[in-house]
Amino acid sequence: MGILSALKGTGGLWFGWGGELTEQEPGEAALDRREGVNYATIELRREQFLRYYGGFANGALWPLFHYMPSKFRFQPEEYAAYEDVNRQFARKLQPLLKPDDIVWAHDYHLIPLACRLRELGVRVPLGFFLHIPFPYIETLRVLPTFSELVRDLVAYDVIGFQTQSDLDSFFTAAAHVFGRQCVVDEGHLNIGDRTVRCGVFPIGVDVDAIQQEAIAARASEVVQRMVDSLSGRKLVIGVDRLDYSKGLVERFTAYERFLEMFPDNCGRLTYLQIAPLSRKDVPSYAEIRGALEQAAGRTNGRFADTDWTPIRYLNRNFAHNVMMGFLRSAHVGLVTPLRDGMNLVAKEYLAAQDPHDPGVLVLSTLAGAARELTSALQINPYDPRALGHALQTALHMSLGERRERHAQLLETLREHSIHAWADRFMAALRASKAET
């Protein structure tokens, strides 16, 4: 969503997999234009995609980059598929490029793309932005092909990260592979005769667009039905893709502990957790779904009454504008990942609020957003008592304090908006072009 918003502002071509799988050899890129954006999409072979996406990308890189080595697995054939798909992307993209173009690749699925494009003779500026965390070298070294991954990354001209700690971790990896002398300063690497720019570019949201969406959706039929069903109770909301990195099992456990610690809240609030299914073919995701259903059933079994259900747990998605209406209606937003690159739900929750009567954000210190959103109630997601106390504080916070905190947070959101993010990264890319 953030990338699409940025692309609508800057113009250009969106290139990537279009969602179609085939048993045959994929054809050339299909060109299309929708809502002012040009698209070039390609198909992937089914078996290759499963090894690339569900295999190496989300079975090896995702858990390792989120500091969860217990979920990590490495299979050489999956790494080979990851390289092959990036090689295929490069072959299909190269004919579409013009001499004055610049390329901005996004996220861990495309780390080798620059190397493969360079092999085809592409000399336009290439930028890369990592949306998820980058692990410290002692964690990264669990990956047998970590050196190849770092060498692929430095083929880009500009490399961007969400936080300073991610950038620092990347420098430890570069120093391990190329020697400490490659780190010139806080923003540059020298790799052979090339200079690679590296920086922190925290991604943001379109505050005004979200506010308008939230206000309009608040009056919609689906949002109004949800609000009416609360019967005057306060709403606590969580919106997360179903993923073990989001800390949902820990959050459900903490909510159960909260009701034990502060029983006066029973019957006075409803916790709505929206968790659309993702990566259903990866075994660990089926496991987390079962754990959450069991945790929600246990809490509801212990505390529910004839007219009150403590947790409403939904494995479905809603339109973005409807979701913004839900967020605006919530007195508390729970964003408690065990590790996250940024977490835009935290920012969307704040942008969707009514500034005259805002809700309170409870935020994990292990989310990248915590570096910017210092006026949120920050907690360690592994500590259920801390989350319980934060939730109690949020539910009883005075209107004056809520307004003050929200005003500070909203100012940060505007300073680091989606447009500022795109402008800063594109400026760095253009500067790298001027230097070549």
**In whole angstroms, what is the distance from residue 202 CA to residue 436 CA?**
26
Q: Which helix (H) or strand (E) holds 226?
A: helix 221-229
**In whole angstroms, what is the distance from residue 312 CA to residue 394 CA?**
20
Rounded (5°) CA angle 332-336-341: 125
Question: Nearest Cα to 380, choosing from 250, 240, 253, 239?
Answer: 250
Question: Nearest Cα to 207, choosing from 399, 419, 367?
Answer: 419
For 283-292, letters b (16+ CB in 10 Å) and e give ebbeebbeeb
Beta bridge partners of 21: 44
Task: Please give the single-letter amino acid code of residue 137.
Answer: I
* Token pair of 426 as six digits: 């594109």
Q: Which residue has the tokens 């090689």?
A: 87
Contacts of 250 (CB under 8 A, 6+ apart): 336, 338, 381, 382, 384
* Token pair of 332 as six digits: 């508390």
Rounded (5°) CA angle 257-262-265: 105
Euclidean distance between the first and final Cα of the chain, in Å?
32
Active site includes 340? Answer: yes
Q: Which residue is catalytic, options 131, 331, 406, 416?
A: 131
**In whole angstroms, what is the distance from residue 234 CA to residue 307 CA?**
15
Q: Which residue is catalytic, options 152, 157, 206, 340?
A: 340
Contacts of 263 (CB under 8 A, 6+ apart): none
* Token pair of 28 as six digits: 């050339």
Question: Nearest Cα to 161, choosing from 188, 199, 195?
Answer: 199
* Token pair of 155 as six digits: 């083929």
Q: Are 128 and 110 in contact (CB under 8 A)?
A: yes
Output the CA–CA distances (angstroms, integers) from residue 302 to 265, 267, 296, 308, 313, in the order listed.
14, 13, 10, 12, 16
Is 139 strand, coil or helix?
A: helix
The residues that are catalytic are: 131, 340
